[in-house]
Amino acid sequence: MTDFSEILQIVGLSILVSGTSTLIGSVVGVPLGVLVALRKFRGRNFVRTVAFTFYGFPPVLAGLLVFLILSRGGPLGFLGFLFTPIGMILAQSVIVMPIVMGITISAMMTVEKRLHDTSLALGANERQWRTTALHDARVGVFTAVMVGFGRAISEVGTVLIVGGNIRGQTRVLTTAIVLEISQAHYLEATIFGIILFVIAFAVFAFLQRLQAKGVV
Amino acid sequence: MSAAPLSLEGIHKSFGTKPVLRGLDAEVQAGEIFSIVGPSGAGKTTALRLLDLLDSPDAGRITFHGKSYPIRSPESLAQRRRMVLVMQNPTVFRATAFENVAYGLWLRGVPDAELRGRVFAGLDFVGLLEAAKESAEKLSGGEQQRIAFARAAVLNPEILLLDEFTANLDPFNVRLLEQSILRYRHETGCTVVIVTHNLFQAKRLADRVALLLDGRFVEVAPAADFFEHPVRPETRAFLSGEMAY
């Protein structure tokens, strides 16, 4: 059975891991998406295709990849991040980044098609055009971050492989649900499910409120 | 005598293997309204994009007061900022009407106090002062095109390029925009190039009219002569609606 303090710890770790990985994925994914969408360079279409392929990258594969990199024999094994929240954050960032990047590319390309000539015709230089495009695509970019967070908070395979679902250390809401179901603790699993839903709802409601107020 | 503000000399432009412009020659005089008419697909919009330095010709020269500018050079940006192109479909930024009209001034680093004054004057000019705080995307097509015109006009361009700027608009907005253009030219002495396939509009607005057919100007003449006494048989066929294209 899981006590209240443990539930709080699981909820806290879920928010910390998902929030941090969304932040990292967005900090990397948004600028890369802008760059790929707006910069004309050799092989741009190939990079776009790769980005969209990773958009649908299977989480279990991402988990395996990060596991191999962080395991004792792996290139970053000496850091000791395997079965730690840091390792889980890294793994989820690998999942979130392509999603944020892919949606950002789509949003920016739509804006480019619609506004590029208008912006230049009004006297924008390339730097000013990029700023304009990012500003105009802000709702799309914001959606990218929201979808990234949604993917992170609901992710189970990656965190299970890299985190190990260790009680009091790397257990998050999704892995706790899997564990409770495997032990036939359906009530506990349902409670965790409701908590997960409420957190996701609260975060999205807050973000949508920001959007409605014109903050983004 | 100073060179014409805008001159095209032997302009050629192809897209892939398809030639669109095949030797375009014209001189646009300071302060005139020069209208380019012609059937769809004749290359009118392509010509206007070249004039606005958004694209470069395959051959030939476009000069502004006798000087030409390589596209994407700092000098071409400076020249681009002395003119404005208003596109066929009203494209507004995801922002208020005020912010849309302010855009070009912001790009040029106009101080805030001056910017506000010019934007409100621009909105007033097109009768949309009360819409300043409204989202431009929520305005009607006609109002959005008036915003696009105000956005261009506040920049005090030396050359104003208008691409089918009243296509798909209702008669009220067409009349309002046409009046705005005539008033604006009268007040500023701005040179205006209008691309249209609306012959009535060309007749109402233009000082001179050029017929663009198969990538060439087949006739360039003062508006009265062009419509009343066309010289070329192609012009007569185009005006009478006998030309199939």
A122 → closest Cβ in B49, B95, B104: B104
Q: Which helix (H) or strand (E) element contains residue B191?
A: strand B191-195
The answer to whether residue B102 is domain-embedded is yes
Domain count, chain B: 1
Residue ranges of domains in chain A: 4-212
Residue A181 has pLDDT above 70, yes or no: yes
Q: Taking the CB of residue B232, how many other CB atoms lie within 10 A of it?
A: 14
- The nearest CA of chain A is from the CA of B104 a distance in Å of 5
Return the CATH class of domain A4-212: mainly alpha
- The model's pLDDT over B103-115, given as tens digits with 9 standing for 90+, comes to 999 999 999 999 9
Inter-chain CB proximity B91 and A118 less than 8 Å: yes
- The model's pLDDT over B109-166, given as tens digits with 9 standing for 90+, comes to 999 999 999 999 999 999 999 999 999 999 999 899 999 999 999 999 999 999 998 8
Helix axes A85-121, A44-55, angle to 10 degrees: 140
The answer to whether residue B245 is domain-embedded is no
Residue B1 has pLDDT above 70, yes or no: no
Determine if residue A83 is left, alpha or beta; phi over 0 gives left, psi from -120 to 50 gives alpha, anything else beta. Answer: left
Phi, psi of B210 (to 5 degrees): -125, 135
Inter-chain CB proximity A120 and B152 less than 8 Å: no
The pLDDT, as a whole number, for residue A215 is: 67
Summary mean pLDDT of chain B: 92
What mean pLDDT comes out for the span B174-184?
91
Residue A95 has pLDDT above 60, yes or no: yes
Residue A81 has pLDDT above 60, yes or no: yes
- The nearest CA of chain A is from the CA of B123 a distance in Å of 17
Q: Which CATH number does the domain housing residue B94 bear?
A: 3.40.50.300
The answer to whether residue B99 is domain-embedded is yes
Residue A179 has pLDDT above 60, yes or no: yes
- The nearest CA of chain A is from the CA of B224 a distance in Å of 31
Instruction: Output the pTM of the full model.
Output: 0.80
Residue A214 has pLDDT above 60, yes or no: yes
Give the B-side interface with A, CB within 8 Å: 49, 52, 54, 77, 80-81, 84-87, 91, 93-95, 103-104, 107-108, 151-152, 155, 161
Range of the domain at B215: 6-240
The answer to whether residue B168 is domain-embedded is yes
Residue A120: list chain B partners with CB under 8 A: 54, 80
- The model's pLDDT over B44-90, given as tens digits with 9 standing for 90+, comes to 999 999 999 999 999 999 999 999 998 888 889 999 999 999 988 87
Report residue A103's pLDDT band, with 50, 70 and 90 as the boundaries: very high
The answer to whether residue B1 is domain-embedded is no
- The model's pLDDT over B202-234, given as tens digits with 9 standing for 90+, comes to 999 999 999 999 899 999 999 999 999 999 999
The answer to whether residue B11 is domain-embedded is yes
Interface test with B, best of A40, A111, A115, A118 (most B CBs within 10 A): A118
